Structure 1
């Protein structure tokens, strides 16, 4: 492999600092400007923003200033996260719809590539017909602001297999709707990389790299938000995953999502530089 034409996107948690999903706060202790400068200097051309942190930044400096900072630092690929309960009803849906509106507004204002959505975390089964219907509506709303909708496969959810994920995105069959393939979720979910070949190329919209130790801590949710490691520091066969994705013709940016209780305590510049360097090395194997 070669690193020529490879672009990396630092997912939010990778350089957010000492915060984690559903923690006491999801708002980075580092300013938006400092994070974008660190990402750009390290070599990243893409960035991820999480809803709570993004809204805090909007309140502080507004979208025009954010867009200017992104452009000044060479950040051209932007992904937003994380929409859940998008197919539910009642209070869960009411809260979800508020997040949806704010993510779509941000997508329009910032020129976002993709909005990441979650399956039913902790749910046993998927109502495919319902999820196809709601996924279709969501994709059409995102198309109006020029963004993709990417559904993430997760082992502790109701979309934990390639078969279920494909039933949803193929059923909706929207040009801007597809899957986010994160190596952690595939590996910890027991999905062999050979299954990637089953996914039509048009549905591979986003990809994320990371690594992990041989034995996960339990419950698995705690492993994913505290114990991921930088690519090459664990036991995942990352080059094999990259080969499987590239074999489908994927040409988008490669996300790096490291959610680690040790990495996130490092200085910002160290976090960004280590993340970029260790990930780029995976493309030379």
Structure 2
């Protein structure tokens, strides 16, 4: 499936606002000026369970003027994930298998799937992670999809440069990375690490901000205390300029998890994210 969006396009990343049903997200997100939207697997499954075929879901998204950028995420893909300690969160994550998520993404016409590690099981070796990711890529390739690892500092693939090593070791043409600014800077990676990544391996980009000093609880911070681009201390100008300098063709997603956002009008969130992203990109690219 061809990628329809490029680095001048902005994508609304749905996970922080999954309190709003997918069909209710579409109009406000498009009205704010976003060209694309990411979906959660549950967005698709809930509508299908209610009787809406995937083709109709895809048509509703297209009719709103939005492109599906990715389905986020596959979370049960390493061998150790089958032995995860039982908890409500891990029980949910174990339903997010490559087979189920890739099939849903293919039905909806998404070009790619995001792959994360956040179950808290034993850290994989490079060889173990590469073999498991290669399998995900092969399953995705059967449907013409790409797959991208998103590093999560609270998980066992903590850094963008570490995730990049897994992608290269897996050796699959459709394998790549999701580069999120919170994960990049909180995971100890640098802009030099970013510049060393082949641009074709950067499938998706997500921007947000945070204070220079990390919180004591990184999981709580990443899920509840991110800031809008420009509100914190991350070198977001350098981030965007580095992507442009290496020739990244990925669109720019906005993903801001913050306390108090759920339950507010989705249009307010979309407008706030868009204003912050446009201001950042305008300054970074000399258009402000």
Which of these residues, 253, 256, 261, is aligned with residue 255 of structure 1? 253
Contact 1:121–1:156 (Cα < 8 Å) also in 2: no
Q: Where do residues 185-196 of structure 1 align in structure 2 (5 Å cutoff)?
A: 185-196=183-194
Contact 1:84–1:120 (Cα < 8 Å) also in 2: yes
CA distance in 2, matches of 1:69, 1:108: 16
User: Which residue pairs with 1:83 in the alignment?
Assistant: 74
> Is there any run of 5+ residues in structure 1 with no aligned partner, and where?
17-27
Q: Structure 1 residue 56 and structure 2 residue 46: aligned?
A: yes
SS in 2 for 1:255: strand
Report the CA distance between 1:119 and its aligned residue. Answer: 2.7
Q: 1:163 to 1:267 in 2, by over 3 A?
A: closer
Which of these residues, 33, 37, 40, is aligned with residue 47 of structure 1? 37
Q: Where do residues 187-226 of structure 1 align in structure 2 (5 Å cutoff)?
A: 187-226=185-224
User: Which residue pairs with 2:11 in the alignment?
Assistant: 9
User: Which residue pairs with 1:115 in the alignment?
Assistant: 113
Contact 2:254–2:277 (Cα < 8 Å) also in 1: yes
Report the CA distance between 1:87 and its aligned residue. Answer: 1.5
**Residues paired across the two proteins, number:** 270
Q: 1:82 to 1:76 in 2, by over 3 A?
A: same
**TM-score scaled by length of structure 2:** 0.85
- RMSD of aligned residue pairs (Cα, Å): 2.3
CA distance in 2, matches of 1:264, 1:82: 20
More deviation, 48-57/169-178:
48-57
More deviation, 214-223/158-167:
158-167
Contact 1:77–1:253 (Cα < 8 Å) also in 2: no
Which of these residues, 236, 245, 260, is aligned with residue 238 of structure 1? 236
Q: Where do residues 88-237 of structure 1 align in structure 2 (5 Å cutoff)?
A: 88-89=79-80, 90=82, 96=94, 99-119=97-117, 121-122=119-120, 125-237=123-235
Q: 1:41 to 1:64 in 2, by over 3 A?
A: same
> Is there any run of 5+ residues in structure 2 with no aligned partner, and where?
1-5, 85-89, 284-288
User: Which residue pairs with 2:87 in the alignment?
Assistant: none
**TM-score scaled by length of structure 1:** 0.86
More deviation, 48-57/87-96:
87-96
Contact 2:178–2:205 (Cα < 8 Å) also in 1: yes
Contact 2:161–2:194 (Cα < 8 Å) also in 1: no
